[in-house]
């Protein structure tokens, strides 16, 4: 009896089938509410941007594009405004949201799979591997984003396998330290490759032209996102996201540990391979279109866990929604608030570092294990 009263102070009951589940009291603990907020944020983002357009005109253009016969004043609309609202902003917003979804989900999947809340795609080297693949593609002269995606996926998988193999050789996969160190080494190796390619400059290109672009792209930006980039990130994110949504309960099992998980009768290797492929694909999709956006894959799973708890059945959708919100917010910030477009990757680190410090401090009292 005392047990229940104590629980009721901390949690509220919500009915699911025959059984009541205990959820944190905030309404944000429900992924669909986060999804609703994300939807509102997406629509709101259409109204933001460097090019000044009054909000009622944006509304008019939007209504017109959805229902062409609604506006009588459409003749007065400026073609430039129509272009900005229907062709320039939507793909950029879409790319930012999908990048956030990809990073949030893959970070959560990685942490569950490696049963380690200290990892993220950038910390296990996947991001660096994907960046190397992408830069290699550009260096070789393939500037079509889907081609960049292929090479960056290969780079991401190679880096992840390298990290896992190294961590296994040095110490058990259960330990945090070997894994993070291995990720650091492998990541540094691939970043050195990136540096080498930038330094070497393909002699067939005009000097200096490519390097500047690569460096700006490397810092992480959504500038110049068009339909091709939107498709390039949409396909891996939707495919990978669907797979992760299907496997989200299996992540609970994987996070138990090898011996215990295999004693429950699941095929660990198969599951791990699917996850490595899917996570690398999603991260590579993000890197191929928008460069290196760090921290998101580490912060979002923590924030989502604070909101909805550790059960991956809720955690995976929640981190997708939160990731989308976070990256969209960063991009909106750089599009509107700052006088020149600071790369999102730089912003994510500037905002991410204090945020992760705060999350560390919050979890310090409780810890992750005890």
Residue ranges that bind another protein, judged by CB under 8 A: 3-4, 7, 11, 16-19, 21-22, 112, 115-117, 243, 246-250, 252-253, 255-260, 262-266, 271, 305, 309-311, 313, 366, 368-370
Residue with Cβ nearer another protein (275 or 330): 275
Residue with Cβ nearer another protein (45 or 116): 116
Structure token pair of residue 47:
């109204």
Structure token pair of residue 283:
């991260």
* CA dist list (Å): 285 to 16, 98, 154, 251, 347: 36, 9, 11, 22, 20
Tell me the closest approach of the beta carbon of residue 159 to another protein, in angstroms. Answer: 23
Sign for the pseudo-dihedral over CA of 138, 143, 145, 149: negative
Q: What letter would DSSP give residue 86? A: I
Q: Could you give the 3-state DSSP secondary structure of residue 12?
A: strand
Residue with Cβ nearer another protein (365 or 369): 369
Tell me the closest approach of the beta carbon of residue 259 to another protein, in angstroms. Answer: 5
Residue with Cβ nearer another protein (291 or 309): 309
Closest CA to 105 of 278, 333, 293, 330: 278
Residue with Cβ nearer another protein (263 or 353): 263
Residue with Cβ nearer another protein (66 or 264): 264
Residue with Cβ nearer another protein (77 or 118): 118
Q: In whole angstroms, what is the distance from residue 285 CA to residue 272 CA?
A: 20
Q: In whole angstroms, what is the distance from residue 223 CA to residue 5 CA?
A: 53
Structure token pair of residue 141:
């002269």
Closest CA to 112 of 263, 283, 302: 302
Q: In whole angstroms, what is the distance from residue 167 CA to residue 180 CA?
A: 8
Evaluate whether 72 touches 272 at the Cβ level (below 8 Å). Answer: no
Evaluate whether 58 touches 46 at the Cβ level (below 8 Å). Answer: yes
Closest CA to 102 of 235, 221, 223, 227: 235
Sign for the pseudo-dihedral over CA of 17, 23, 27, 31: negative
Residue with Cβ nearer another protein (197 or 308): 308
Q: In whole angstroms, what is the distance from residue 213 CA to residue 170 CA?
A: 38
Closest CA to 37 of 350, 356, 320: 320
Q: Could you give the 3-state DSSP secondary structure of residue 28?
A: helix
Q: What letter would DSSP give residue 266? A: -
Residue with Cβ nearer another protein (57 or 313): 313
């Amino acid at each position: 009896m005392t047990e229940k009263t104590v629980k009721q102070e901390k949690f509220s009951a919500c009915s699911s089938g025959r059984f009541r589940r205990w959820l944190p009291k905030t309404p944000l603990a429900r992924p669909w509410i986060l999804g609703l907020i994300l939807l509102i944020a997406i629509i709101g983002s259409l109204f933001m941007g460097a090019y000044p357009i009054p909000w009622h005109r944006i509304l008019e253009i939007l209504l017109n594009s959805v229902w062409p016969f609604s506006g009588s004043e459409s003749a007065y609309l400026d073609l430039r405004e129509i272009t900005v609202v229907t062709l320039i902003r939507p793909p950029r917003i879409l790319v930012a949201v999908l990048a956030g979804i990809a990073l949030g989900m893959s970070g959560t999947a990685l942490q569950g799979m490696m049963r380690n809340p200290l990892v993220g795609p950038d910390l296990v080297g996947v991001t660096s591997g994907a960046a190397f693949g992408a830069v290699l593609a550009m260096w070789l002269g393939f500037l079509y984003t889907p081609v960049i995606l292929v090479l960056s996926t290969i780079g991401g998988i190679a880096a992840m396998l390298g990290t896992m193999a190294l961590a296994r050789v040095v110490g058990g996969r259960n330990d945090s330290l070997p894994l993070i160190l291995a990720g650091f080494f492998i990541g540094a190796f691939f970043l050195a490759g990136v540096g080498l390619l930038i330094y070497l400059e393909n002699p067939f290109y005009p000097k200096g032209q490519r390097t500047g672009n690569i460096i700006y792209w490397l810092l992480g930006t959504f500038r110049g996102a068009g339909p091709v980039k939107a498709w390039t990130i949409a396909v891996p994110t939707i495919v990978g996201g669907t797979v992760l949504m299907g496997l989200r309960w299996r992540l609970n099992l994987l996070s138990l540990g090898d011996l215990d998980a295999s004693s429950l009768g699941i095929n660990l290797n198969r599951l791990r391979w699917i996850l490595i492929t899917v996570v690398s694909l999603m991260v590579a999709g993000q890197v191929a279109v928008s460069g290196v956006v760090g921290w998101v894959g580490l912060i979002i799973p923590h924030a989502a866990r604070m909101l909805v708890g550790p059960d991956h059945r809720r955690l995976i959708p929640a981190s997708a929604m939160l990731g989308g919100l976070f990256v969209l917010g960063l991009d909106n910030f750089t599009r509107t608030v700052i006088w020149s477009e600071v790369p999102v990757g730089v912003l994510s680190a500037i905002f991410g570092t204090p945020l992760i410090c705060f999350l560390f401090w919050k979890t310090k009292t409780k810890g992750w294990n005890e």
